[in-house]
Amino acid sequence: VFTHFRKAVESRGAICPALAAPSRLRPLPPSADGFDNGAIPSFADLKVEPPVPDARAVLPFQGGESAGLERVKSWIWDQDCLRSYKETRNGMVGGDYSSKFSSWLAFGCLSPRLVYQEIKRYETERVANESTYWLVFELLWRDYFRFAAATHGNKIFFLGGPQVPDSVVNLCAQHPLLLNCSYAQGQTGYPFIDANMRELRATGFMSNRGRQNVASFLVRDMGQDWRLGAEWFEEQLLDYDPCSNWGNWTYAAGVGADPREDRYFNIVKQGKTYDPTAEHARLWCPEVSHLAPALLLDTPARGLTASDSSGVCYPPPIVPLKFSAYKGSSSNARPVGRAGDHREFRQGTTGAHPPNASAHGRGEGRTARGGVRDKIKQERRGARRNRVQNDYMGGDA
């Protein structure tokens, strides 16, 4: 459990200093068969199309240690962004609402020890506050997922996660469908979700707040195998690393080493809270940008009149929200992701719909009046309780 890990590290752990750069390197081995030591193949050599930069990207993300060190210097010291990080970290537009060190950390261009040292130096020379602690807190989550992966091995890839080791299900037959489905393409009918998924596909980055919501939407609202999302992130993210990615997805699905089975995000409420003017949604979903923010962040298909719908191509919602409230209402229901709770992933749809009252013997399929409303309240309380436990799913560390 992360809390036990964190308390142990904070009370007894000592962070080793980053290693100094070597003064010299051993010579490279001699070339063999005309091989050019140190040569980096071009996109043409690899027979792949070069990526096309998107002007809407939060950062250009230049690779290498020099670029990573420059980002640390700029974000922590020159712009003094660390001072207010706790207040800005849930932003979604712009380059500096969060550190975005994760890509350089994932590729080994930055050392987490060096980042920790810079935070501690900042606390000594400028200020120690909740923001400085919070960035260390996220480095702790990064370490925790590495220890969890080392402990559980390939169980982090199982449908039931480390808790259900016999729940292996092959994804190969389903995976190609994900590439063209509404979820991956950002065509779910919910701009808060679609904007984040389009940003990921176009730039390789998604904010921490976005990652939490799209994970919840796939697992709780669409009722899908969480590993489809984890594999899509693996293919798309610039900051992908197996421990953080798969560890976070097991957590989101409620099947991790530190499970929270009722972790549900109300994406409409989340959008109105964290993108209140719909700046991010308008940026990535221009086809509905003319709608008022409140309507745009709800279900924009309802806000399109007969006249403007002819010129706007935006899909209706592919699945009703709060699907998890219906699904979890049965006393013997298992959380999405557990063994025996696998649904076919269809292109452009989910096949997952809330049951009606006749489907159960206890009336769990009724409207929000009664049992379902109580379930929704429980989920909201659970989400609030769990927010402090893991409010991080990537983008910084």
- The one-letter amino acid code at 71 reads R
To the question of whether residue 98 is assigned a binding role by annotation, the answer is yes
To the question of whether residue 326 is assigned a binding role by annotation, the answer is no
In the prediction, which pLDDT does 389 show? 46
Q: How much is the average pLDDT of 196-223?
A: 96
In the prediction, which pLDDT does 298 show? 84
Other Cβ atoms within 10 Å of 31 Cβ, number: 11
Residue 168 CB partners (closer than 8 Å, separation 6+): 158, 159
The reply to whether 57-152 and 158-391 are identical in fold is no
Task: For residue 27, name the pLDDT band (cuts at 50, 70, 90).
Answer: confident
Query: Residue ranges of the domains in the chain?
Result: 57-152, 158-391
Q: What are phi and psi of 64, to 5 degrees?
A: 105, 160
Flag the least confident range among 194-208, 294-308, 328-342.
328-342
* pLDDT (tens digit per residue) in 33-81: 666 777 788 999 999 999 899 999 999 999 999 999 999 999 999 999 9
Please say whether the beta carbons of 1 and 148 come within 8 A.
no
To the question of whether residue 100 is assigned a binding role by annotation, the answer is yes
Angle CA 212–217–218, to nearest 5: 105
* Record: fold of 158-391: DNA Cyclobutane Dipyrimidine Photolyase, subunit A; domain 3 (1.10.579)
Q: Is a pLDDT exceeding 60 seen at residue 247? A: yes
In the prediction, which pLDDT does 26 show? 83
Q: Is a pLDDT exceeding 50 seen at residue 336? A: no
To the question of whether residue 329 is assigned a binding role by annotation, the answer is no
Flag the least confident range among 7-11, 169-173, 272-276, 391-395.
169-173
Q: Is a pLDDT exceeding 90 seen at residue 169? A: no
Between CA 112 and CA 338 the distance in angstroms is 33
In the prediction, which pLDDT does 393 show? 76
What tokens does 383 get? 């989400």
Residue 282 or residue 388, greater confidence: 282
Residue 376 or residue 173, greater confidence: 173
Q: What is the dihedral of CA 220, 224, 225, 228, to 10 degrees?
A: -110
Among residues of the chain, what percentage have pLDDT more than 70?
74
Between CA 304 and CA 302 the distance in angstroms is 6
To the question of whether residue 33 is assigned a binding role by annotation, the answer is no
Task: For residue 267, name the pLDDT band (cuts at 50, 70, 90).
Answer: very high
To the question of whether residue 103 is assigned a binding role by annotation, the answer is no
SS3 content of the chain, % helix, strand, coil (to 5): 50, 0, 50
To the question of whether residue 327 is assigned a binding role by annotation, the answer is no
Between CA 380 and CA 377 the distance in angstroms is 5
Q: Is a pLDDT exceeding 80 seen at residue 356? A: no
Q: How much is the average pLDDT of 124-134?
A: 98
To the question of whether residue 377 is assigned a binding role by annotation, the answer is no
Q: How much is the average pLDDT of 210-237?
A: 94
Q: How much is the average pLDDT of 15-42?
A: 81
To the question of whether residue 85 is assigned a binding role by annotation, the answer is yes
Q: How much is the average pLDDT of 251-273?
A: 86
Flag the least confident range among 25-29, 192-196, 380-384.
380-384
Q: What are phi and psi of 60, to 5 degrees?
A: -75, -20
What tokens does 81 get? 């962004």
- Domain 57-152, CATH among 1.10.3720.10, 3.30.43.10, 3.20.20.370, 1.25.40.80: 1.25.40.80
Question: In sequence order, which ranges of the chain are alpha helices (DSSP H)?
Answer: 2-12, 43-46, 65-72, 85-88, 102-106, 112-125, 130-152, 175-179, 182-185, 191-203, 208-216, 226-236, 242-253, 267-274, 279-284, 293-296, 306-309, 323-327, 373-387
